[in-house]
Chain A
Amino acid sequence: MNIEGLIAAAVRMGTPLLFATLGEIITERSGILNLGLEGLMLVGALTGFATSYMTGNVWLAFFAALIVGALFALIHAFMSVTLRVNQVVSGLALTMLGSGISGILGKAFVGKPAAKFQIVNVPGLSQVPIFGAFFKMDPLVYLGYVLVPLLWLFIFRTRWGLTLRAVGEEPSAADSRGINVFLVRYLATMAGGALTAAGGAYLSLAATSMWIENMSAGRGWIAIALVIFSAWEPFKALVGAYLFGFVMSLQLRLQAVGVAHVSADLLMMLPYLVTVVAMILFSFSETFRKRIGAPSALGVPYAREEKS
């Protein structure tokens, strides 16, 4: 097996997961649990593809997916922040809605050709042996590289990030400090939705250049697991997403070199097995568990106490 090819495949497999995971990290950091990732990815994939098909401009298509993703996530924000309904139910509804809508509206685009992101070699870096595989990618992969440290800085080193975390940990305390909890949660959910949709758009604009119903194929769910795996932290999300991408592409490669005597089903389980094992290991380590802590107010709707 050639190592460069495996690295490249792992990164490409991992990138849609990375975008969705980063998106969900932002959302969950504000205390909103959004299980609608699968639906958001599909809506993003279709929006991206349809825009690319009609305009031929891949960047325009990518931004269209971001915007539509944000608007689609607005539904979840409205349901869980304003109406304070059960976030699990609302998230699941979003998944079904997204897969249904994209399925129906996407019928016209099945089998059509559209423009896609082309590979751009980074001068110099792409010449490095083995390591160079990371720099022979499409622009969206590079965007992923850049986004991770930026998001980390945003969450942990800026005032806005502090606000975001405060809302997710202690919304009432944040509220008493004059932070608009509702607004923060709305914005975080929409930003998360936009990034998740970007993960979907990666599938139809960079990984392949086609639209097929339900083409996200469960990646939204993997991303939700990855958020826990990454302990709500962008750098670990990068490691997790690429690790998953690695395991997924490794199993395809193992089949190709004829290790297929190991059951294909077993190989398919590998990514999920890795998650479970990782989570068990984490929970054994006391210091880690303290650090991994989910946002305290995750999934809890916030209502201002009535002043009597």
Chain B
Amino acid sequence: MKKLFVVFLVAAVVLSAFAFKVIMVTDTGGLGDKSFNDGTWHGIVKAAKEVGADYEVIQSYEQADYIPNLSKAAKEADMVFAVGFMMTDALFKVAAQYPNTKFVGIDIVPPEGKELPNVLTFTFKEQEAAFLVGYVAAAMTKTGIVGFVGGIPIPPVERFRYGFEAGVKMFAKLHGKDIKILRGYTQEFSDPKKGKDLAMSQFAEGADVIFHASGACGNGVIEAAKEKFAALVGKANPTLEDFINYYYEHGKGFFAIGVDADQDYMAPGAVLTSAMKRVDMAAYYAVKWAYEGTFKGGHMVLGLAQEGVGMSPMRYTKGLVPTRVLAELLLIEKLIKEGKFVIPDSQEALDSFKVPPIKFPF
């Protein structure tokens, strides 16, 4: 009996040593951010369960943790995920020391000349998803003012802003409206109070739709929209139905637009839609490729065409958006996917963005 147990134990140890192992290292946002850390994790778990790989997560509490955490993960795992733009330097430092481990960077671009054969990085065309939500925001504002709340103005956040502003501009031009955009940054990603205050001050300046790209600060932005809308409705805790009824009777409301994941559920009715970044898809395919042996180092940019970004399906608020706007969105999405026009991904491109002369066939 004892012998059997030992054999079993040895077998288990040997087997587990051979099992393909994936470790994800979070950025300081950590699991539970309901945003890209969680998203990547979902993708990894889904793929790992399908192929029967082991998976683990290591949380980073501050930026100084990145290198030790990645090194630890590289020693133990066959595949290591680094999540977040802030981890770029740490990822490439560690990956150079462990050439036999596969690394995946989410939201990371290889620094020029530092590309490594064992590192696959993904970035997303945030601007394409943001363009669509910007278009909806412009269609839904009754005050003619929309707001943008960013975290730290790092490239992914800024790409959200460029796309959003271009989308607003497009709607304004095509429909002959004049729409103003308020911009603000919380300068961090973890203080919901600051996000809420910034949103409140934009609402006070007349905005009625605010798009956030500010991590957990955005939870405060969403709470601000919910509170303002609830005050309008005149109930302490309005249901989705209360919001919808009020909007139909009075034709106005206050809305937040979520980011990264589908955040519509966080305040049903008060979150108009979300600009989603499908980090889960990127993580899912990376694990699959590694397991199947088709993993290649390099850099991939995922946009609408690759379904790497998109707009949430508006589970709660679709009924509020005019059908005509929804139809226009579908056409615009198709044109972007076909590459008929390019969404700006830099300030210069945004400044020189010319609204294409689209004729809607309806």
Contact = CB atoms under 8 A, between A and B. Distances in A.
Contacts of A207: 193, 196
B328 interface: no
A110 B34 contact: yes
A1 B201 CA distance: 9
A106 B25 CA distance: 19
Contact of B197 (A99, A100, A110, A252): A252
Contacts of B220: 208, 210
Given A9-B200, A213-B30, A208 B223 contact: yes
Contacts of A264: 153, 184-185, 187
B201 A215 contact: no
B198 interface: yes
A99 B223 contact: no
A256 B266 contact: no
A103 B201 contact: no
A260 B183 contact: yes
B182 interface: yes
B61 interface: yes
Of B147, B188, B198, B204, most A-chain CB atoms within 10 Å: B204
A265 B187 contact: yes
A255 B61 contact: no
Contacts of A289: none
Given A2-B204, A103-B61, A111-B266, A252 B192 contact: no
A38 B236 CA distance: 32
Interface in A101-149: 103, 107, 110-111, 118
Contact of A217 (B61, B183, B191): B191
Contacts of B188: 217
A258 B202 CA distance: 10
A214 B236 CA distance: 28
A110 B29 CA distance: 12
A252 B198 contact: yes
Best-surrounded residue of A1, A12, A217, A249 (most CB of chain B within 10 A): A217
Contacts of A107: 31-32
Interface string A188-231: 00000000000000010001111011110100000000000000
7 contacts: A5-B201, A9-B200, A110-B33, A249-B197, A252-B184, A256-B205, A264-B184
Interface of A: 1-2, 5, 9, 12-13, 99-100, 103, 107, 110-111, 118, 203, 207-210, 212-215, 217, 248-249, 252-253, 255-258, 260, 264-265, 268
